Structure 1
Amino acid sequence: MESPTLTAHNVNVVGTGDELIILGHGFGTDQSVWKHVLPHLLDDYCIILFDNMGAGTTNPEHFSFQRYFTLHNYADDLLSILDELEVQSCIYVEHSVAGMVGCLASIEYLNDANYFGGFEQEDLNQLFLAMQSNFKAWVSGFTPLVVGPDIQSPAVQEFARTLFNIWPDIAFSVAKTIFQSDLSLISDY
Protein backbone atom coordinates (compact mmCIF):
# COMPACT_ATOMS: atom_id res chain seq x y z
CA MET A 1 0.00 0.00 0.00
CA GLU A 2 1.28 3.47 -0.85
CA SER A 3 2.05 5.80 2.02
CA PRO A 4 -0.03 8.91 2.80
CA THR A 5 3.02 11.10 2.07
CA LEU A 6 3.53 9.65 -1.40
CA THR A 7 -0.19 9.82 -2.17
CA ALA A 8 -0.56 13.42 -0.92
CA HIS A 9 2.29 14.58 -3.14
CA ASN A 10 1.24 12.53 -6.20
CA VAL A 11 4.65 10.86 -6.28
CA ASN A 12 5.49 9.06 -9.52
CA VAL A 13 8.62 7.01 -10.15
CA VAL A 14 9.40 6.45 -13.84
CA GLY A 15 12.36 5.55 -16.02
CA THR A 16 14.68 2.59 -16.40
CA GLY A 17 18.13 3.96 -15.58
CA ASP A 18 20.28 3.23 -12.56
CA GLU A 19 20.98 6.84 -11.59
CA LEU A 20 18.24 8.65 -9.66
CA ILE A 21 16.93 12.15 -10.49
CA ILE A 22 14.29 14.04 -8.54
CA LEU A 23 12.47 16.79 -10.42
CA GLY A 24 11.08 19.62 -8.26
CA HIS A 25 8.61 22.09 -9.75
CA GLY A 26 8.21 25.78 -9.01
CA PHE A 27 5.36 28.05 -7.98
CA GLY A 28 2.25 27.89 -10.09
CA THR A 29 3.16 24.59 -11.71
CA ASP A 30 3.05 20.92 -10.90
CA GLN A 31 5.07 17.92 -12.00
CA SER A 32 3.56 18.21 -15.50
CA VAL A 33 6.01 21.09 -16.11
CA TRP A 34 8.61 18.39 -16.79
CA LYS A 35 6.64 16.67 -19.58
CA HIS A 36 8.94 17.95 -22.34
CA VAL A 37 12.14 17.04 -20.47
CA LEU A 38 11.00 13.65 -19.19
CA PRO A 39 11.20 11.72 -22.50
CA HIS A 40 14.90 12.60 -22.74
CA LEU A 41 15.62 11.12 -19.30
CA LEU A 42 13.53 7.94 -19.18
CA ASP A 43 16.08 5.57 -20.72
CA ASP A 44 19.06 6.74 -18.70
CA TYR A 45 17.60 7.62 -15.29
CA CYS A 46 15.10 6.58 -12.68
CA ILE A 47 13.05 9.76 -12.09
CA ILE A 48 10.99 10.78 -9.08
CA LEU A 49 8.28 13.34 -9.77
CA PHE A 50 6.18 14.93 -7.03
CA ASP A 51 3.85 17.85 -6.46
CA ASN A 52 4.51 20.39 -3.73
CA MET A 53 1.59 20.75 -1.38
CA GLY A 54 -0.66 23.49 -2.69
CA ALA A 55 -0.11 22.69 -6.36
CA GLY A 56 -3.39 22.44 -8.21
CA THR A 57 -3.02 18.68 -8.47
CA THR A 58 -2.80 18.15 -4.70
CA ASN A 59 -5.83 17.81 -2.49
CA PRO A 60 -6.62 21.28 -1.08
CA GLU A 61 -7.87 19.61 2.11
CA HIS A 62 -4.27 18.55 2.84
CA PHE A 63 -3.00 22.14 2.61
CA SER A 64 -2.37 23.82 5.95
CA PHE A 65 -1.94 27.60 5.80
CA GLN A 66 -0.12 27.45 9.13
CA ARG A 67 2.23 24.62 8.10
CA TYR A 68 3.15 26.03 4.71
CA PHE A 69 3.91 29.51 5.98
CA THR A 70 7.64 28.81 5.56
CA LEU A 71 9.74 27.04 2.96
CA HIS A 72 11.19 24.83 5.69
CA ASN A 73 8.05 22.71 5.73
CA TYR A 74 8.23 22.21 1.97
CA ALA A 75 11.79 21.00 2.56
CA ASP A 76 10.50 18.67 5.29
CA ASP A 77 8.00 17.27 2.77
CA LEU A 78 10.80 16.65 0.27
CA LEU A 79 12.83 14.85 2.94
CA SER A 80 9.78 12.77 3.89
CA ILE A 81 9.36 11.70 0.27
CA LEU A 82 13.04 10.73 0.10
CA ASP A 83 12.72 8.79 3.36
CA GLU A 84 9.61 6.96 2.17
CA LEU A 85 11.37 5.94 -1.05
CA GLU A 86 14.58 5.09 0.85
CA VAL A 87 16.66 7.42 -1.31
CA GLN A 88 20.27 7.55 -0.19
CA SER A 89 21.73 9.60 -3.05
CA CYS A 90 20.24 11.47 -6.00
CA ILE A 91 20.48 14.33 -8.43
CA TYR A 92 17.99 17.07 -7.63
CA VAL A 93 16.83 19.23 -10.55
CA GLU A 94 14.53 22.07 -9.69
CA HIS A 95 12.61 24.97 -11.07
CA SER A 96 11.98 28.28 -9.31
CA VAL A 97 11.36 28.09 -5.56
CA ALA A 98 12.06 24.34 -5.56
CA GLY A 99 15.73 25.33 -5.72
CA MET A 100 15.52 26.95 -2.30
CA VAL A 101 13.47 24.04 -0.99
CA GLY A 102 16.25 21.71 -2.14
CA CYS A 103 18.89 23.89 -0.51
CA LEU A 104 16.99 23.93 2.75
CA ALA A 105 16.59 20.17 2.58
CA SER A 106 20.31 19.63 2.04
CA ILE A 107 22.16 22.28 4.05
CA GLU A 108 21.76 24.76 6.84
CA TYR A 109 21.66 28.38 5.84
CA LEU A 110 22.58 31.73 7.35
CA ASN A 111 21.27 35.16 6.46
CA ASP A 112 23.91 37.62 5.34
CA ALA A 113 23.52 41.15 6.64
CA ASN A 114 24.88 42.48 3.32
CA TYR A 115 22.34 40.62 1.16
CA PHE A 116 19.48 42.62 -0.31
CA GLY A 117 16.53 40.83 -1.93
CA GLY A 118 15.04 41.71 -5.29
CA PHE A 119 11.64 42.99 -4.15
CA GLU A 120 10.50 46.03 -2.24
CA GLN A 121 7.76 45.31 0.29
CA GLU A 122 5.38 47.75 -1.44
CA ASP A 123 5.78 45.82 -4.72
CA LEU A 124 4.95 42.61 -2.92
CA ASN A 125 1.94 44.22 -1.24
CA GLN A 126 0.63 45.23 -4.67
CA LEU A 127 1.18 41.72 -6.00
CA PHE A 128 -0.68 40.20 -3.05
CA LEU A 129 -3.54 42.70 -3.39
CA ALA A 130 -3.89 41.88 -7.09
CA MET A 131 -3.98 38.15 -6.33
CA GLN A 132 -6.68 38.59 -3.71
CA SER A 133 -8.87 41.04 -5.61
CA ASN A 134 -9.01 39.29 -9.00
CA PHE A 135 -7.08 36.04 -9.24
CA LYS A 136 -7.98 35.40 -12.88
CA ALA A 137 -6.77 38.84 -13.97
CA TRP A 138 -3.63 38.44 -11.86
CA VAL A 139 -2.81 35.08 -13.53
CA SER A 140 -3.37 36.63 -16.96
CA GLY A 141 -0.89 39.42 -16.17
CA PHE A 142 1.60 37.38 -14.15
CA THR A 143 2.18 34.51 -16.57
CA PRO A 144 3.64 36.59 -19.42
CA LEU A 145 5.85 38.45 -16.93
CA VAL A 146 7.34 35.18 -15.74
CA VAL A 147 7.42 33.11 -18.93
CA GLY A 148 7.51 35.62 -21.79
CA PRO A 149 5.46 38.38 -23.38
CA ASP A 150 3.72 36.24 -26.03
CA ILE A 151 0.47 35.36 -24.24
CA GLN A 152 -0.42 32.90 -27.01
CA SER A 153 2.79 30.89 -26.65
CA PRO A 154 2.35 27.30 -25.44
CA ALA A 155 4.66 27.95 -22.47
CA VAL A 156 2.58 30.92 -21.25
CA GLN A 157 -0.65 28.99 -21.79
CA GLU A 158 0.72 25.97 -19.89
CA PHE A 159 1.85 28.08 -16.93
CA ALA A 160 -1.55 29.80 -16.84
CA ARG A 161 -3.27 26.39 -16.90
CA THR A 162 -1.30 25.09 -13.92
CA LEU A 163 -1.79 28.35 -12.01
CA PHE A 164 -5.54 28.17 -12.59
CA ASN A 165 -5.51 24.64 -11.15
CA ILE A 166 -4.58 26.07 -7.75
CA TRP A 167 -7.29 27.36 -5.48
CA PRO A 168 -6.83 31.17 -5.28
CA ASP A 169 -6.51 31.26 -1.48
CA ILE A 170 -3.86 28.54 -1.57
CA ALA A 171 -2.02 30.29 -4.43
CA PHE A 172 -2.01 33.49 -2.39
CA SER A 173 -0.66 31.73 0.70
CA VAL A 174 2.08 29.91 -1.23
CA ALA A 175 3.08 33.07 -3.15
CA LYS A 176 3.28 35.01 0.10
CA THR A 177 5.51 32.33 1.63
CA ILE A 178 7.78 32.37 -1.42
CA PHE A 179 8.06 36.12 -1.92
CA GLN A 180 8.35 36.94 1.80
CA SER A 181 11.17 34.40 2.19
CA ASP A 182 14.43 36.24 1.80
CA LEU A 183 17.15 33.71 2.36
CA SER A 184 20.73 33.84 1.24
CA LEU A 185 23.27 31.09 1.44
CA ILE A 186 26.72 31.68 2.85
CA SER A 187 29.51 29.30 1.98
CA ASP A 188 33.05 29.00 3.24
CA TYR A 189 34.68 29.18 -0.16
Structure 2
Amino acid sequence: MGVAAEAHNVKVLGSGTEYIVLGHGFGTDQSVWKHFVPYLVDDYRVVLYDNMGAGTTNPEYFDFERYSTLEGYASDLLAILEELQVESCIFVGHSVSGMIGAIASIARPDLFTKLVMVGASPR
Protein backbone atom coordinates (compact mmCIF):
# COMPACT_ATOMS: atom_id res chain seq x y z
CA MET A 1 0.00 0.00 0.00
CA GLY A 2 1.05 3.59 -0.57
CA VAL A 3 1.49 6.67 1.57
CA ALA A 4 -2.23 7.57 1.76
CA ALA A 5 -3.19 4.03 2.73
CA GLU A 6 -0.50 3.92 5.39
CA ALA A 7 -1.36 7.38 6.74
CA HIS A 8 -5.04 6.43 7.12
CA ASN A 9 -4.60 2.91 8.51
CA VAL A 10 -6.35 1.38 5.51
CA LYS A 11 -7.54 -2.20 5.76
CA VAL A 12 -9.02 -4.16 2.86
CA LEU A 13 -11.04 -7.21 3.85
CA GLY A 14 -13.23 -9.65 2.00
CA SER A 15 -13.32 -11.54 -1.24
CA GLY A 16 -16.03 -9.93 -3.33
CA THR A 17 -15.48 -8.22 -6.64
CA GLU A 18 -17.32 -5.02 -5.75
CA TYR A 19 -15.83 -2.52 -3.30
CA ILE A 20 -17.66 -1.02 -0.35
CA VAL A 21 -15.86 1.78 1.49
CA LEU A 22 -16.83 2.56 5.08
CA GLY A 23 -16.16 6.07 6.42
CA HIS A 24 -16.53 6.66 10.15
CA GLY A 25 -18.12 9.59 11.93
CA PHE A 26 -16.74 12.43 14.00
CA GLY A 27 -15.12 11.33 17.23
CA THR A 28 -14.76 7.69 16.18
CA ASP A 29 -12.47 5.60 14.01
CA GLN A 30 -12.84 2.62 11.70
CA SER A 31 -13.48 0.28 14.65
CA VAL A 32 -17.06 1.61 14.70
CA TRP A 33 -17.75 -0.76 11.77
CA LYS A 34 -16.52 -3.95 13.50
CA HIS A 35 -20.03 -5.39 13.93
CA PHE A 36 -21.00 -4.73 10.29
CA VAL A 37 -17.91 -5.98 8.48
CA PRO A 38 -18.56 -9.72 9.07
CA TYR A 39 -21.85 -9.37 7.15
CA LEU A 40 -20.11 -7.74 4.17
CA VAL A 41 -16.86 -9.65 3.60
CA ASP A 42 -18.42 -12.57 1.73
CA ASP A 43 -19.95 -10.31 -0.90
CA TYR A 44 -17.65 -7.27 -1.04
CA ARG A 45 -14.09 -6.09 -0.75
CA VAL A 46 -14.47 -3.88 2.30
CA VAL A 47 -12.23 -0.83 2.66
CA LEU A 48 -11.84 0.63 6.14
CA TYR A 49 -9.84 3.76 6.85
CA ASP A 50 -9.42 6.46 9.47
CA ASN A 51 -9.93 10.13 8.69
CA MET A 52 -6.81 12.13 9.49
CA GLY A 53 -6.71 12.95 13.19
CA ALA A 54 -8.80 9.92 14.17
CA GLY A 55 -7.78 6.55 15.50
CA THR A 56 -4.06 5.93 15.41
CA THR A 57 -3.29 8.18 12.44
CA ASN A 58 0.15 9.71 12.61
CA PRO A 59 -0.18 13.33 13.84
CA GLU A 60 2.82 14.30 11.70
CA TYR A 61 0.56 13.99 8.63
CA PHE A 62 -1.98 16.47 10.01
CA ASP A 63 -1.98 19.82 8.20
CA PHE A 64 -4.21 22.49 9.77
CA GLU A 65 -4.73 24.29 6.46
CA ARG A 66 -5.60 21.11 4.52
CA TYR A 67 -8.06 19.90 7.13
CA SER A 68 -9.70 23.26 7.78
CA THR A 69 -12.33 22.22 5.21
CA LEU A 70 -13.92 18.90 4.30
CA GLU A 71 -12.34 19.10 0.85
CA GLY A 72 -9.02 18.03 2.42
CA TYR A 73 -10.63 14.89 3.82
CA ALA A 74 -12.36 14.22 0.48
CA SER A 75 -9.00 14.51 -1.28
CA ASP A 76 -7.63 11.91 1.14
CA LEU A 77 -10.50 9.56 0.30
CA LEU A 78 -9.82 9.97 -3.42
CA ALA A 79 -6.10 9.35 -2.86
CA ILE A 80 -6.88 6.13 -0.99
CA LEU A 81 -9.16 4.92 -3.80
CA GLU A 82 -6.50 5.78 -6.36
CA GLU A 83 -3.76 3.93 -4.47
CA LEU A 84 -5.98 0.86 -4.14
CA GLN A 85 -6.88 1.15 -7.83
CA VAL A 86 -10.59 1.14 -7.01
CA GLU A 87 -12.50 1.94 -10.20
CA SER A 88 -15.96 1.90 -8.62
CA CYS A 89 -17.36 1.60 -5.10
CA ILE A 90 -20.32 1.93 -2.82
CA PHE A 91 -19.47 4.50 -0.16
CA VAL A 92 -21.08 4.36 3.28
CA GLY A 93 -20.40 7.46 5.34
CA HIS A 94 -21.47 8.05 8.91
CA SER A 95 -21.79 11.60 10.25
CA VAL A 96 -19.11 13.86 8.76
CA SER A 97 -17.96 11.09 6.40
CA GLY A 98 -21.31 11.31 4.66
CA MET A 99 -20.40 14.82 3.54
CA ILE A 100 -16.81 13.79 2.79
CA GLY A 101 -18.18 11.10 0.47
CA ALA A 102 -20.56 13.58 -1.15
CA ILE A 103 -17.74 16.03 -1.88
CA ALA A 104 -15.50 13.25 -3.21
CA SER A 105 -18.30 11.95 -5.44
CA ILE A 106 -18.83 15.41 -6.93
CA ALA A 107 -15.14 15.61 -7.78
CA ARG A 108 -14.99 12.05 -9.16
CA PRO A 109 -18.49 10.71 -9.89
CA ASP A 110 -17.01 7.85 -11.90
CA LEU A 111 -15.67 6.25 -8.70
CA PHE A 112 -18.97 6.03 -6.84
CA THR A 113 -21.94 3.85 -7.78
CA LYS A 114 -23.88 4.60 -4.60
CA LEU A 115 -23.62 6.85 -1.56
CA VAL A 116 -25.17 5.73 1.70
CA MET A 117 -25.25 8.48 4.31
CA VAL A 118 -25.96 7.50 7.90
CA GLY A 119 -26.84 10.55 10.01
CA ALA A 120 -24.77 12.75 7.71
CA SER A 121 -23.96 16.18 9.04
CA PRO A 122 -24.83 19.13 6.77
CA ARG A 123 -21.36 20.70 7.12
Shorter-chain TM-score: what band?
0.7 to 0.9
Are the counterparts in 1 of residues 30 and 55 from structure 2 also a CA contact under 8 Å? no
Q: Which amino acid aligns with 1:107?
A: I
Are the counterparts in 1 of residues 5 and 80 from structure 2 also a CA contact under 8 Å? yes
Q: 1:56, CA displacement in angstroms? A: 2.8
Are the counterparts in 1 of residues 13 and 47 from structure 2 also a CA contact under 8 Å? yes
Larger radius of gyration: 1
Any idea what the Cα deviations from partners look like across 1:8-39, whole Å, max 9, x if unmatched? 00011000112210000111111100000011
CA RMSD of superposed structures (Å): 1.5
Aligned to 1:20: 19
Distance in 2, matches of 1:92 and 1:73, equals 17
Aligned to 2:82: 83
Distance in 1, matches of 2:4 and 2:91, equals 19
Bigger strand fraction: 2
Distance in 1, matches of 2:106 and 2:71, equals 11
Long gaps (5+) in structure 1: 109-178, 184-189
Return the TM-score normalized by structure 2: 0.84
Q: 1:83, CA displacement in angstroms? A: 0.7
Distance in 1, matches of 2:79 and 2:18, equals 20
Any idea what the Cα deviations from partners look like across 1:50-77, whole Å, max 9, x if unmatched? 1100103111121111210000010000
Bigger helix fraction: 1
